[in-house]
Structure 1
Amino acid sequence: METMGLRELNQNPSKAVARVRAGATIVVTDRGRPVMRLVPETEPESTLERMVAAGEVTPPAEQGMPELALDLLPDVGSLSDLLIEERNRERDR
């Protein structure tokens, strides 16, 4: 952890920002006493990323939803076809 005096921060703030962007944490002091800390900003983790990191779940193997209708009814082309058939049956009643 680096330290930087308040005067130095006021005179050259871009140096401090560059160090923090590079991942450093800087403690800013005023007359030798720490007054604040500059830390790099981190992207918030999603709930899925936190659960994967904790070992509670495993990440999905593929993106998107699986096409379950094909496994259940191999003769139907898609979920859209199932919906159209269902609506047609309801209209015929």
Structure 2
Amino acid sequence: MSATSTVESIQTEETATVGTNADLSDKQHRILAYLREHAAEQTYFKSRLIAEELGLSAKEVGANMSAVVDAAVDIDVEKWGYSSGTTWMVTR
């Protein structure tokens, strides 16, 4: 592989990663950043508690989570439960 091919390959990979996160709205970026920041401390997150921390409604968090799930490459986000609000399981 030539040096030019290597650089083009790296740029393509970077664009793919950035493109995924670049497609997120401000709210989705804030939710993803919050989950990344707190994933080491805890595993389960309730939508209403994320909302309280970020100044959003629980409905806004829930409506934006599918984009966050798709964009999260360094953490896994899975819908976990519904009792007294949606709970999300986040693992590294």
Fold similarity call, TM over 0.5: no
Which bracket does the TM-score occupy, shorter chain normalised? under 0.3
Q: TM-score, normalised by structure 1?
A: 0.25
Tell me: higher relative CO, structure 1 or 2? Use CA pairs within 8 A at least 6 residues apart: 2
Which one has the bigger helix percentage? 2
Structure label with greater radius of gyration:
1
